[in-house]
Amino acid sequence: MMSDMRLCDSDFKTVKITPNSGALGAWVEGVDVSNPLSPEILEELRSAFIRYKVLFFPHQNVSSQEFLEFARQWGTVLQNPYFQPLEGLSSEITEIIKRPEDSRNIGRSWHMDFAFDAEPTNINLLMAKKLPSRGGDTLFCDLCKAYKALSPGLQQTLKRLKVVNSNRDIVHAARYEKEFKGRLPQNNAEVRNTHPVVIHNPDNGEDSLFISATATERFDQWTEEESKPLLNYLFAHVGRPDGCSL
DSSP assignment of 109-167: SS--TTTTSSS--S------SS--SS--PPPEE-HHHHHHTS-HHHHHHHHT-EEEEES
Would you say residue 133 has pLDDT above 50?
yes
34 assigned to some structural domain: no
**Taking residues 238-244, what's their average pLDDT?**
82
> Minimum mean pLDDT among 72-81, 147-156, 214-223: which range?
72-81
169 assigned to some structural domain: yes
How many independent structural domains does the chain possess? Answer: 1
Structure confidence by residue, pLDDT tens digits, 161-206: 999 999 888 777 666 566 666 666 666 788 999 999 999 999 999 9
Q: What is the CATH number of the domain that holds 198?
A: 3.60.130.10
16 assigned to some structural domain: no
51 assigned to some structural domain: no
48 assigned to some structural domain: no
Domain housing 160: 62-245
136 assigned to some structural domain: yes
68 assigned to some structural domain: yes
32 assigned to some structural domain: no
